[in-house]
Amino acid sequence: MEKKIKMIESFILEKMKSSRLPALSLGIMQKGKVIYQRGFGRRNLEDGQPATPDTLYGIGSITKSFTCLSLLQLQEESRLSLSDPVSDYLDFNLKPAGRTVEIQHLMSHTSGIPGLAYAEAAILNSVGEEVEDVPVGDVEDMLTFIRESQDWLETEPGKRWFYLNEGYVLLGGIIARVSGISYQKYLKENIFSPLEMNRTFFSRENVEADKDAACPYLVTDNERIPQSYLYGSITSDGGIISNVQDMLKYLKLFLQKEDNEIITPGSLIEMMQPRINTPSLQLYQEINNQKVVKADYSLDNHPGYYGLGLSIEEDFFGYRKIGHGGSVLVATAQLNFIPEEELGLVLLANGSGYPLSQLSSYLLALLLEEDPDRLDFRQSETRLEKLTGTYQAFQGNYSLEISRQGDFLKLKNISSSLGDEEILIPDRLAEERIELFALQGGKKLPVEFYFQEGETVLLYGRYKLKKVSELVD
């Protein structure tokens, strides 16, 4: 275990450095016990305060699982049913394809209403980007806003996954309507307090009074700019602010097999059951131990599903991986667990940097004693990154620059008059030869890299080039 922990710590610090993420806190639980917790980096760059497992961060959309848990509690008390029409509780009159939207449709993002970007607008405006504002102050405002979207509806309920923050705002309104108290108070009384999550908040007052709260940062290529949370503007869809210690208590709820005082095992199982496939498709497959881009882009080729406030990956090294991510841009979060192994983790950070979903997958692979480099995103990181640099043709009379752009490579003629930039798309990622392609005039142009006697060789159209230097940041 000690070797795994050192690998985890090194990987985290490497990715924090490369993405300029100020602080991150991690907690790992297995068999009902916390086996690791630590803070990395600085929760406040101004005075250098270190992050700890107690540091407060916004958890973003992990809040959605709390919202679903609350609704299942109310269902267990026979105060509502997930199959009830939303219009039984709110002045909601949208009927996609003439069908009734039920509570469970909002919980599983299958209402048939595409995302309407109210939260995105609020977040972008809060960091100084001027976009069209959506003046939503409460559930009544949201109902007025969403009522105008009748012509924006896409499918009948239950047919397709459209991530809908607006729907979760309405769910918070249903919880308040049925319980007779505010959404925030309901969660405090029925989830936070019973689980002893005593430093999990919604309000500015609580966070600013806390001695171990991370400053949220807008992380850009050149700056890390202090920001503030959208207190009150984002609630049941992403408003919780918590810490690793408290979130591990929440995680334990999903990992433990014994009964608990707040929800039945049956309701937890209901949250974790796949309801709808998510639109991400499996891109790579292994053929003869080589990663190859899969040509099947049909909607049947899906590795991921959504339940009720939780995402489900059915085959993570043969295990089910369940959880949710969260982002309010100035803070990010990830919660994932492997039910069969009673293993899970929580990652919280005070900015957007290296994707915590990828970091979580890497760490879980290590903990499961699997090779994390088999993960698809690691193929792009490890095999594409080593191709970046400056390449020259025979006697240096023609030069190209290759840089990585996410899961692609970007090819740029150093002499701009010879052509524009091109995006190179992975096709085969083998150890000895990496094949990509560019699209030119509607045709597919193969682009190949191979390694020979310590050199990296590029075949591009009519040219053969060799790597002569690394890129300089």
pTM over 0.85: yes
Nearest to 446 by CA among 457, 460, 464: 460
Cα 31 to Cα 224, 317, 411: the distances in Å are 38, 20, 48
Is 373:365 a contact under the CB 8 Å cutoff?
A: no
Which pLDDT belongs to residue 418? 65
What is the Cα–Cα distance from 327 to 334, expressed in whole angstroms? 9
Is residue 418 located within the same domain as residue 337?
no
Q: Is the pLDDT of residue 296 over 60?
A: no
pLDDT band at 172; cut points 50, 70, 90: very high
Q: pLDDT tens digits, residue range 181-201?
A: 999 999 999 999 999 999 999
What is the Cα–Cα distance from 346 to 324, expressed in whole angstroms? 10
Q: pLDDT tens digits, residue range 2-61?
A: 889 999 999 999 999 999 999 999 999 999 999 999 999 999 999 999 999 999 999 999
Buried (b) or exposed (e) across 96-114, using 16+ Cβ within 10 A? beebbbbbbbbbbbbbbbe
Which pLDDT belongs to residue 381? 86
Q: What is the CATH number of the domain that holds 145?
A: 3.40.710.10
Nearest to 138 by CA among 90, 170, 113: 170
Q: pLDDT tens digits, residue range 74-125?
A: 999 999 999 999 999 999 999 999 999 999 999 999 999 999 998 988 888 8
Question: Is 397 strand, coil or helix?
Answer: coil
Taking residues 319-343, what's their average pLDDT? 97
According to DSSP, residue 396 is labeled G
Higher pLDDT, 283 or 393: 393
**Six-digit token string for 468:** 């002569």
Is 170:90 a contact under the CB 8 Å cutoff?
A: yes
Q: Is the pLDDT of residue 256 over 90?
A: no
Angle subtended at Cα 131 by Cα 130 and Cα 137, rounded to the nearest 5 degrees: 105
Which pLDDT belongs to residue 62? 98
Is residue 368 located within the same domain as residue 386?
no
Is residue 227 located within the same domain as residue 339?
yes
Last residue of a domain, which of 374, 406, 438?
A: 374
Phi and psi at 459, nearest 5°, equal -110, 115
Higher pLDDT, 62 or 420: 62
Is 207:328 a contact under the CB 8 Å cutoff?
A: no
Nearest to 65 by CA among 359, 334, 349: 334
Question: Is 135 strand, coil or helix?
Answer: coil
Q: Is 96 left (phi over 0), alpha (psi -120 to 50) or beta?
A: beta
Task: Work out the mean pLDDT of the chain and round it to a whole number.
Answer: 92
pLDDT band at 417; cut points 50, 70, 90: low
Is 245:27 a contact under the CB 8 Å cutoff?
A: yes
Cα 359 to Cα 43, 175, 179, 220, 249: the distances in Å are 19, 33, 38, 20, 21
Which pLDDT belongs to residue 366? 96
- Give the number of residues written for the chain: 473
Domain span at residue 398 reads: 382-469
Is residue 418 located within the same domain as residue 278?
no
Is residue 460 located within the same domain as residue 320?
no
Is 29:248 a contact under the CB 8 Å cutoff?
A: yes
Which pLDDT belongs to residue 471? 85
Which pLDDT belongs to residue 46? 94
Is residue 333 located within the same domain as residue 409?
no
Taking residues 229-242, what's their average pLDDT? 95
Phi and psi at 442, nearest 5°, equal 80, 5
Is residue 179 located within the same domain as residue 55?
yes
Is residue 230 located within the same domain as residue 353?
yes
Last residue of a domain, which of 374, 405, 425?
A: 374
Which pLDDT belongs to residue 280? 76
Which pLDDT belongs to residue 311? 97
Cα 142 to Cα 171, 395, 428, 440: the distances in Å are 11, 65, 47, 46
Is residue 363 located within the same domain as residue 399?
no
Amino acid, res. 385: E
pLDDT band at 293; cut points 50, 70, 90: low
Is residue 311 located within the same domain as residue 431?
no
Q: pLDDT tens digits, residue range 46-66?
A: 999 999 999 999 999 999 999
Q: What is the CATH number of the domain that holds 446?
A: 2.40.128.210
Q: Is the pLDDT of residue 242 over 60?
A: yes
Measured in Å, how far apart are the chain's first and last C-alpha atoms? 36
HSE (CB half, 13 Å, CA atoms) of 253?
Answer: 27
**Widest CA span in the chain:** 79
Is 92:107 a contact under the CB 8 Å cutoff?
A: no
pLDDT band at 294; cut points 50, 70, 90: low
Domain count, the chain: 2
Name the β-bridge partners of 455.
452
Which H/E stretch holds residue 40?
A: strand 33-44
Question: Is 150 strand, coil or helix?
Answer: helix
Which pLDDT belongs to residue 428? 85
Last residue of a domain, which of 339, 374, 409?
A: 374
Is residue 320 located within the same domain as residue 399?
no
Is residue 254 located within the same domain as residue 278?
yes
Which pLDDT belongs to residue 323? 98
